[in-house]
């Protein structure tokens, strides 16, 4: 699943392609927002991690996996 993260005071959004489902990401978001200095941590498909302070989150947008097209038909 693709997650787009809007961060306050940042001109660009972060895009994370993760194996986690929407429910898991929402749970992580709730936990991060519940803590005083919480951070949202997401792991991408390649094992990299994205860490964002919860107090600077602007929005999260969930998208479907995009299938990669190969060849001239793409």
74 residues of the chain, pLDDT tens digit each? 999 999 999 999 999 999 999 999 999 999 999 999 999 999 999 999 999 999 999 999 998 766 565 667 65
Predicted local distance difference test score (pLDDT) of residue 64: 77
Predicted local distance difference test score (pLDDT) of residue 67: 58
Confidence (pTM):
0.79
Domain borders along the chain are 2-63
Q: Is 31 exposed, middle or buried (0-12, 13-18, 19+ CB in 10 A)?
A: middle
Measured between its terminal Cα atoms, the distance across the chain in Å is: 20
């Amino acid at each position: 699943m693709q997650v787009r993260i809007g961060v306050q005071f940042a001109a660009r959004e972060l895009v994370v392609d993760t194996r986690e489902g929407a429910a898991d990401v929402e749970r992580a978001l709730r936990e991060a927002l519940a803590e005083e200095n919480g951070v949202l941590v997401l792991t991408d498909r390649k094992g990299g991690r994205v860490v964002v302070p919860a107090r600077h989150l602007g929005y999260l947008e969930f998208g479907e996996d995009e299938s990669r097209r190969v060849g001239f038909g793409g």
